[in-house]
Chains A and B, each alone.
Chain A
């Protein structure tokens, strides 16, 4: 049993470890280790295309995470106040959104956006001189929609564990409903909200499939990596991959710590 487990872990993580190892190679081959150097890291960081793609990715990830956090938190709060069938339908919809394969979301979002653009542009363009098209905006929208369900799930989970008597106690002590939200509910769910933000950020930052469909002419980092692989793999790709992985891991660990802190307070 223990051997099986080790084999599974090795199968999962060995390729990743090898990529990380090869990223420190001094040679030109991406699939062998030839001496140790940080050359390829320097190369990657000095490559203007990489930096531009990185900037786009960060921008999209940040803005879509903001969108997802605000809308997702509001949805979670509204859902907690709801009862019966409506709530069950929405809860189910949110859970399904997390399970749908990225490629389906990508195609569906693309079709939806193009249809809307085709409908709107004929009167929007003469009015403003601008034409709606795929790009950063559609990326933020698509990622925001997808990651919103993550935020909803996290915040809902936290709300469920909140003692309803806390709200009553606050009310009893003279706090208005808004005062209660500000002083009691919000501080209690804040760690879950922040964890949701970080999770949304990494999901958007790492996403290739949905971005590939709706990015239009924009290039995010995953898209750049994918297209440069087609021109031949260099250790530079390994270096980029390792950096992205390290950054994502850090953020995810941060999210975990947030969640754990929100649950660490023992309730008697």
Chain B
């Protein structure tokens, strides 16, 4: 399954495509030669910090921006000359953008009322009712927008978009204005909705947890470019470069000398002379490299304890210890290696005992944990 997500999207299963699409505002290059195929029926997220080009990419799909270079295709057709109001896509806006002078039902029916030839009034009413039922707002049709809570407004925005049965549903940070609890609920509901409707969802977010939780594939953006595309697991386990390793989850990033490489594994020698076995980056050849390892891949042992098989031990001193319930976060200083973070699960800590501030310990690095980062 993980493998399938990273495979090339075949032309016949592509619903939309960016072909070297760029957007320049004066001096600023907001999107820089984006190449991406969106698979029909998938949940794709654009993830990145603000100003990374993710919103620009979404707006080029919606038709609010036209690319200054390259092309955007929907269903194989270049939509560069097609205005937003003729595109088979609909958007859920960040602050919902509901029409304040209309009722909930009028808002939801707005798209249907624009159809030419005109759709029968009864048919519109039926579809609106069905869409409201889908987002569990059955009885709210006659309400005014300002009588609805934030979460309800979001459902209205969702209903207003899906009632048109778009080829792609665009979601522009739809959960940003909701509180944490509601956000979790909404994420699950969105996923259920996407599965039952079978519509392609394209989400823009700066929240990595949201992207990890919901997406089939995540497209990580930085400085207008795509940094990496892949399934959430791929991005977490095999970040292609430092930017991705840093952005998705937490990572210890260390510089190392690559002593040897064989069969996809590399022997990396750290600053203190210790050698660790890590996954190699495809096509990497440099002897100077950065390696990344997740805090939960490492473990701790008291200094002098017997070293288990297949582990490399790095002497270190505990500088901070933060108890976080299900795990404890240790910040350590390893001489000539650098600062390290190690997350110890509650279970393991309870079994082996914790380590206090200033304690001299060994950080255990299992063979195969971590990987070489490609340059850039």
Residues on A facing B (Cβ under 8 Å): 163, 165-166, 168-177, 179, 183-184, 187-188, 265-268
Contact = CB atoms under 8 A, between A and B. Distances in A.
Contacts of A183: 110
Contact of B93 (A169, A176, A268): A169
Contacts of B91: 168-169, 172
A173 B98 CA distance: 11
B64 A170 contact: no
- Nearest first, the 7 closest Cβ-Cβ pairs linking A and B are A173-B111, A165-B97, A174-B114, A169-B97, A171-B84, A265-B100, A187-B101
B301 interface: no
A173 B114 contact: yes
A63 to B, nearest CB: 29
- Residue of B90, B97, B145 ringed by the most chain A CB atoms within 10 A: B97
Contact of A173 (B94, B110, B153): B110
A194 to B, nearest CB: 14
A10 to B, nearest CB: 41
Contact of B99 (A172, A176, A179, A184): A184
Contacts of A184: 99
A267 B100 contact: yes
Contacts of B153: 268
A168 B146 contact: no
B61 to A, nearest CB: 11
- Residue of A166, A188, A265, A268 ringed by the most chain B CB atoms within 10 A: A268
B164 interface: yes
6 contacts: A166-B99, A168-B97, A172-B84, A174-B111, A188-B100, A268-B146
Given A163-B97, A168-B93, A168-B97, A174 B146 contact: no
B114 A168 contact: no
What size tier do the contact residues of chain B reach?
20 to 34
Given A168-B64, A266-B146, A268-B153, A173 B97 contact: no
Interface string B138-175: 00000001100010010000001000100000000000
A172 B114 contact: no
A166 B114 contact: no
Contacts of B85: 171-177, 179
Nearest to A164: B97
A170 to B, nearest CB: 7
Contacts of B336: none
Contacts of B63: 171-172
B62 interface: yes
Contacts of A179: 85, 114
Contact of B164 (A173, A176, A268): A173
A171 B83 CA distance: 9
A101 B336 CA distance: 79
Contact of B150 (A168, A170, A268): A268
Nearest to B115: A174
A188 B95 contact: no
B95 A172 contact: no
Interface in B48-98: 62-64, 83-86, 89-91, 93-95, 97-98
B93 A175 contact: no
B90 A173 contact: yes
